[in-house]
Amino acid sequence: MNQTASNYKFLQDLVNYNFYAEAQATWNVNDLIYDLEKIREQYSRVGESLSKFHKQYLLMVLVGKQLPDMVAELEDITSVESLRTKLSNDKNKKGIHFCLQKLLKQEIRNPQDIIFHLFNSKYRKQPQPPNHEKETGLLIRIPDDVSAKQLLEIENKVRAITGCPYIRIVEIKMGSIILLFKGSQSACEQIESLHEQGLLSYRLGIPIIDVEIIPSHVNLTQWFDNILTSGWQAANQLLTPSQLALVRSAEIKAGKLINLRADMFTHPIVLLVNLARENDDYPEVEITLRVYPTGDNVYLPPNLKLIVLSENEVFQEVTARSEDRMIQCQIEGEVGEEFTVKLVLDEAVITEDFVI
């Protein structure tokens, strides 16, 4: 959590709100409220802070409450219709939905939208796998009418079924909802097997459209055909204009938001991969790996390591200093070659496997 944020009275008072403890178990509530308060102060005419209504509403959203469940908990709200009216009017007054839209850069219309977009953010707590544990990706496609509460429950049910404490949703895509999980190979295979037996929908309590284990390696050659690996985004969705200025426009580039949890704090960073080659038939690819701070962080966390491994041997390694805004490694390889990237900060280790 942002250390400055912990000193603010509006954060200290949060512990007295209903559902705070329940929300805090899944979300970095203090960081979220702190960042929303800064937006509220910036856009409201007199620098107003979020009201008790705003914070109580948000806490109930974070634990999966729907509008009918909220009526009895919110002051001066007598019906679902009066709550909808207040939220609509509140949005015009730079209220909670307005602030969430500015923060998440997504349209917010209802509690379900908030949960969906926060799932892909730094504000959700995620268990990390043991160091050196290889992970497997798993896609589960579900109908788009699932409630926010059901969505929050799916992750815990999958953990209970598989016995894997760190299997987790790392991305949600809209449409028919696609949940991208990461966990142990055996856990992912167990979920796939239950689906093939026709038992997964019953165990999770929701209809399941499809389940698919996805390749463990990020295929970089596909990026030249504009096919981005699930979990990766266009660079302009993750970086600031000043950060993008360092990247040559002719390069193929994509990034991934990564949350490193170390010393009780969450450090959001972006891993950016840039690709360049002379022509479509040229077998050799020039790869530049860059790591940037994100959010309100100007500098990378000191001692963050960017490590490139080839055939399980360290090929390159660079360590962030106290005021580094970016660190990078440059490598070259031919189509079909594999390499691994590790991001290490104290006890936190994130591993990404690539094939050119």
Give yes or no for residue 273 having a pLDDT over 80: yes
DSSP 304: -
- What Cα–Cα distance (Å) separates residue 272 from each residue in 105, 117, 159, 290? 20, 21, 30, 5
DSSP 15: G
Task: Quote the pTM value.
Answer: 0.64
Q: Over the stretch 88-101, which tens digit does the pLDDT of each residue have?
A: 887 677 889 999 99
Predicted local confidence at residue 60, as pLDDT: 93
Predicted local confidence at residue 205, as pLDDT: 92
Structure tokens at 325: 């805004």
> Distance between alpha carbon 90 and the CA centroid of its chain, in Å?
27
Q: Do residues 211 and 139 make contact, with C-beta atoms less than 8 angstroms apart?
A: yes
- How big is the chain by its Cα radius of gyration, in Å? 22
Give yes or no for residue 80 having a pLDDT over 60: yes
Q: Do residues 182 and 162 make contact, with C-beta atoms less than 8 angstroms apart?
A: no
Q: Do residues 125 and 30 make contact, with C-beta atoms less than 8 angstroms apart?
A: no
Q: Do residues 100 and 111 make contact, with C-beta atoms less than 8 angstroms apart?
A: no
Share of the chain above pLDDT 70, in %: 91
Average pLDDT over residues 130-135: 66
Predicted local confidence at residue 5, as pLDDT: 46
Give yes or no for residue 243 having a pLDDT over 60: yes
DSSP 190: H
> How would you classify the pairing of strands 136-142 and 313-319?
unpaired
Predicted local confidence at residue 108, as pLDDT: 86
Name the one residue in this structure whose structure tokens are 């544990």. Answer: 133
Give yes or no for residue 253 having a pLDDT over 60: yes
Q: Where are the beta strands (DSSP E) in the chain?
A: 136-142, 168-173, 177-183, 210-214, 217-219, 233-234, 252-262, 265-276, 284-293, 305-310, 313-319, 327-334, 338-345, 348-355
Give yes or no for residue 270 having a pLDDT over 60: yes
Question: Residue 350: how many CB atoms within 10 A of its CB?
Answer: 19
Q: Coil, strand, or helix at residue 266? A: strand
CA distance linking residue 271 with residue 257, whole number of Å: 7
Band (4; pLDDT cuts 50, 70, 90) = very low
Average pLDDT over residues 256-262: 79
Q: Do residues 66 and 111 make contact, with C-beta atoms less than 8 angstroms apart?
A: yes
Predicted local confidence at residue 356, as pLDDT: 87
Residue 84 has φ and ψ, to the nearest 5°, of -60, -40
Predicted local confidence at residue 3, as pLDDT: 41
Average pLDDT over residues 170-178: 74
> Which structural domains are found in the chain, ordered by start?
5-119 (no CATH), 136-214 (3.30.70.3310), 218-355 (2.60.40)
More confident residue, 200 or 263: 200
- What Cα–Cα distance (Å) separates residue 22 from each residue in 10, 29, 80, 158, 193? 18, 10, 23, 20, 32
Residue 57 has φ and ψ, to the nearest 5°, of -60, -45
Average pLDDT over residues 19-31: 90
More confident residue, 10 or 67: 67
Predicted local confidence at residue 6, as pLDDT: 45
Query: What is the arrangement of strands in the sheet containing 265-276, beginning at the earlier edge strand?
Result: 233-234, 252-262, 265-276, 284-293, 327-334
In this structure, of 140-149, 163-172, 173-182, the range with the lowest mean pLDDT score is 173-182
Average pLDDT, the chain: 83
Name the one residue in this structure whose structure tokens are 């429950």. Answer: 153
Predicted local confidence at residue 2, as pLDDT: 45
Give yes or no for residue 141 having a pLDDT over 50: yes
Average pLDDT over residues 216-229: 82
Q: Over the stretch 303-351, which tens digit does the pLDDT of each residue have?
A: 999 999 888 788 889 999 988 888 999 988 888 888 889 888 887 778 8
In this structure, of 9-13, 32-36, 307-311, the range with the lowest mean pLDDT score is 9-13
Band (132; pLDDT cuts 50, 70, 90) = low
Residue 308 has φ and ψ, to the nearest 5°, of -110, 125
Those residues whose C-beta lies under 8 Å from the C-beta of residue 157, and which sit 6 or more positions away, are: 203, 204, 205
